[in-house]
Amino acid sequence: MQENEKQSTLEPFCQGVNELLVTGEKLVTSLDGKPDSLDGWKDLKARFSSFQMRGKDPVLIATLYGPSGAGKSTLFKLLTGVDVPAGGAVRPCSMACAAAVPESLDDPQKLAVLFPGYNAEKLVSQTQIRQTDGPDQLLFATYAEKKKQAIQLVLVDVPDFNTVEKTNWDKAEKMLERAEVVIFMVYDNAYSDDKVIQELARCCKKSASMAYMLTMTNAEAAKQIWGDLVQKVSGRFASFQENRADGKTLHQFLLESPVYFSPRSEHPNLENVYPLNETTPPLQSLLQGFDAEKLIISGLREPALQTLVSCTNFIENAELGLVGMQDRDREMHADLLQHAKAVAFNEFPAGRLVQIVLEEAKRRRPWYLHFITRGFEIPGMAFKQGQKLVDWLRGKNEDGPSLFNRDELERKRLHDATEHMGNQWRGNYPDLSGTDGVLSSANCENARNAFTKVNIPEAGLDWETEVRTDLAKWAEENKWKCAMLATIPELAMTGGIALLMVDLCTTGGFGFVLANLGLAGTAGGLGAAVGVGIKFLEDYHLNTVAENAQNKWKTQRTQELLTHLDDNWAAVLLQSWRLKLKTVIDAPIPQFKQICMRVQKLLHEGKVS
């Protein structure tokens, strides 16, 4: 691949990986997730930081990984000249990660970019390596390159993973997630140990590239050991049948890894490290030149694929969660509407309707009736009906249903509605009903108590305007009855009478009110419930006006009470849940999904290799 072609294929991939990491960090964090918990994320982030530094001086991170006594420290010294503790009866010899870096990287700030999450400290004494410290410590020493290499090598010796020191396991695994190349080293008597094979499987899953190296053995024994190992992992260990993100099984990845061996020697040197197969290049070539550059690039492929899989799963779960939350939000809104209807549909604005009827009748009576009827009493039935209506509105008549102040009636009904909905939601959404949930008993009670202190909104005038329009038509068709209505005394129509309401559902709790929602306000039900008021209106052919008024009242008052319930009760009760819903809605899920698809396409089309 020519240099300009290579750059043209890598540039969109690098841009996509950068957007993947930046946007993914914001998205996952905003949804209370932890990006580092996503499979492949930490590896990709660490390796991409190194990749961004490549410029004129590309850097390859390689780590020596293996059990105690495998010869890692010896090979480390042979490759770099940096001396680290090796051998001895007391193990582990190393308790910290030691890195050999070229002189151009003798800078903790540069190493902080190459090794995100590590604290780089200059290695001045071997005792530092023997001291126990946290998994974030990285001791480094410089080595002099014999000649300028196209790829700068940083070689890391990690603590043994099979010692009794548990913190060493964490340090070894963390560096495994960072390195582009893993040289898995094991001596002949330890290759089949369960712990060693378990860690070998981990390396096969995490590594971008891996070399397997048997120490303290000869060529014939190495071939027998390798054949036995391949046979064991193909049948005995199910973990090797698992797939890597690139689609290969761990077993297949192991088979494709180069294998090396080194015999026992009192004077070890790199010339004594041999490939098991003649076609395998020398170990040094993996860490230098063009092979090293390919490893740096391929080091991004595997964690990128892993990250894409885990991010895709995260996106799918987030989208499912959003759909579930939106469904629940719609269900809650439907409940609010249903309960607002139950309040509005089961009340009849009798006082204000009578006021409007008489106001319109008096406004429309012929001019000559002003003089004819003034000072005269209404004779006969008309007078009795008028007086009966006056008594009913003033609460002095037992023939009609009781009248209630609108604020008192609605306040009681709304309190019952919030209590009923709270109990209903607690049963429907148990995940929100725990002690700390938004629907906890304490939170429901606090929201309800606060709601009862809020003023109920006044009714708008729209329904009245439509009633007056209906009355205009009625007056044209019933001129004489209109004139007679106009002669009824003023009835002492104070503002209080305008607020008088008939309760259309006086029995049962709020569940009964909901169950009978479809019946309340019908012509038959209304007439039976309102009694005196409707009888009076029927005698003047105003029953249709009254029914239309009730329907218009129901529509308008439902919306007013719905807004009141939503703004002053549900918004308080569900504040944290609705904030979370808004966060999920506003999260850049579509944008992140497109980024994932773009990077995935580049990887699967083979344009990054």
Residue in the block written with tokens 């008549």: 397
pLDDT surpasses 70 at 324: yes
Rounded Cα distance, 159 and 142, in Å: 19
Point out the least confidently predicted range of 67-71, 158-162, 251-255, 320-324.
Answer: 158-162
Quote the CA–CA distance of 442 and 193 in Å, as a whole number: 57
493 CB-contact burial (10 Å; exposed 0-12 / middle 13-18 / buried 19+): middle
Q: Is the pLDDT of residue 364 over 80?
A: no
Question: Cis bond leading into 116, ω under 30°?
Answer: no
Cα–Cα distances (Å) from 510 to 140, 340, 414, 415, 515, in that order, read 74, 12, 10, 10, 9
DSSP class of 504: S
Highest mean pLDDT among 170-184, 281-295, 324-338: 324-338
**Residue for token pair 């049962």:** 508
Bridge partners, 183 (sequence order): 64, 211
Better pLDDT: 264 or 524: 264
What is the mean pLDDT of the segment spanning 320-347?
94
Question: What SS3 class is residue 421?
Answer: helix
**Distance, CA of 522 to CA of 506 (rounded, Å):** 16
Chain region(s) in the chain for CATH 3.40.50.300? 37-317
Return the pLDDT at 568.
97
pLDDT at 469 (0 to 100): 93
- 3-state SS assignment for residue 466: helix
| Start-to-end CA span in the chain (Å) | 10
Q: Where are the alpha helices (DSSP H) in 453-588?
A: 462-477, 479-486, 495-498, 510-515, 523-530, 532-539, 543-565, 571-573, 575-586
Q: What is the pLDDT of residues 427-449, one digit of tens each?
A: 999 999 989 999 999 999 999 99
- In sequence order, the β-bridge partners of residue 64 are 157, 183
Q: Look at residue 462 in the predicted model and tell me its pLDDT.
A: 94
User: How far is Cα 168 from Cα 96, in angstroms, rounded to an integer?
Assistant: 8
Tens of pLDDT along 477-504? Answer: 888 888 777 766 655 455 577 888 888 7
Long-range contacts formed by 266-275: CB under 8 A, 24+ apart? 268/71, 268/74, 268/75, 268/78, 269/78, 270/78, 270/79, 273/75, 273/213, 274/219
Kindly state the helix (H) or strand (E) to which residue 296 belongs, with its residue range: helix 289-345
- Give dist(CA 460, CA 468) in Å, integer: 14
Confidence of residue 382 (pLDDT cuts 50, 70, 90): low
Give dist(CA 595, CA 92) in Å, integer: 45
pLDDT at 511 over 80: no
Distance between CA 293 and CA 374 in Å, rounded? 109
Residue in the structure block whose two tokens are 């061996």: 261
Coil, strand or helix: which one is 212?
Answer: strand
* Alpha-carbon gap, residue 405 to 387, rounded angstroms: 21
Give the bridge partners for 211, in sequence order: 183
Q: What number of helices (H) and strands (E) belong to the chain?
A: 26, 12
Element (H, E) at 293: helix 289-345
Residues 63-72 pLDDT 10s = 998 888 888 8
Q: With pLDDT > 70 as the criterion, what percentage of the chain qualifies?
A: 76
Is residue 329's pLDDT more than 50? yes
How much is the pLDDT for 304? Answer: 87
Checking DSSP bridges between strand 347-348 and strand 274-275, what pairing results, if any? unpaired
With b meaning 16 or more CB within 10 Å and e meaning fewer, what string describes 120-158? beebeeeebbeeebebebbbbbbbeeeeebebbbbbbbb
For the residues 399-426, what does the mean pLDDT come to?
87
Choosing among 3.20.20.80, 3.40.50.920, 3.40.50.300, 2.30.110.10, the CATH entry for 37-317 is 3.40.50.300
Mean pLDDT score across all residues of the chain: 80
By DSSP bridging, strand 97-102 and strand 152-157 are antiparallel
Question: What local confidence, expressed as pLDDT, does residue 503 receive?
Answer: 80
Query: For residue 59, what are the β-bridge partners?
Result: 152
The secondary element (H helix, E strand) that includes residue 142 is strand 137-143
